A and B are shown apart, each in its own frame.
Chain A
């Protein structure tokens, strides 16, 4: 296993379209996190999963956003009716058990909404 992977790496979409991103964590990592990062800022927490259970969602995660981790392995993040303000880097990270464990980040998916 070579680390956390994300697909696609880049996505350009028109405003109003739906997009879906995929994250494959390091195998056997129980926790999976989604972050959003905009220029000049650090990663902002969106949500995390413990196995297949979504345990916390940030208020940044509006009702247009939904995340799933159906079998406790890979995860998807969907954004419906995209807006220009959704343009950002979307990062996925995983950790063995959570808590104070360091997180292993994927390379991110850069979304551009035109």
Chain B
């Protein structure tokens, strides 16, 4: 059951530019969403979250936007840094998307 979808398996951006990672969900009962980052040979680590009572949450270079009517959220990273290169997972309702591999080129 693909209740959380990340349709872009990969994304490549230049250092200093904005990275936008997208996530769609199907269950309107989901009311809290999280983004995790995963480096090779490590488990996912929590990055940022958003509650459905908000449409934006910001933490430093990372901002998550939530569009409840579209059942869509996005993670913006600006400016992108090479150390941001990792796989990013969107999660909601205990379910994870398939992940997007972000590569930030120096």
Contacts and interface: CB of A to CB of B under 8 A. Distances in A.
Interface of A: 4, 35, 40-45, 91, 93, 100, 102-108
B98 A42 contact: yes
Contacts of A100: 32, 49, 51
Given A43-B96, A107-B43, 16 more contacts: A4-B43, A35-B96, A40-B99, A41-B99, A42-B91, A42-B98, A42-B99, A43-B89, A91-B44, A93-B43, A102-B46, A102-B49, A103-B46, A105-B36, A106-B43, A107-B41
Interface of B: 4, 6, 9, 32, 34, 36, 41-46, 49, 51, 89, 91, 94-99
Contacts of B97: 42
Contact of B43 (A42, A44, A45, A105): A105
A108 B44 CA distance: 10
Contacts of B6: 42
6 contacts: A42-B4, A44-B96, A103-B46, A104-B46, A105-B36, A107-B42
A35 B96 CA distance: 10
B45 A105 contact: yes
A91 B43 contact: yes
B82 to A, nearest CB: 23
Interface centre among B41, B44, B51, B96 (most CB of A within 10 A): B44
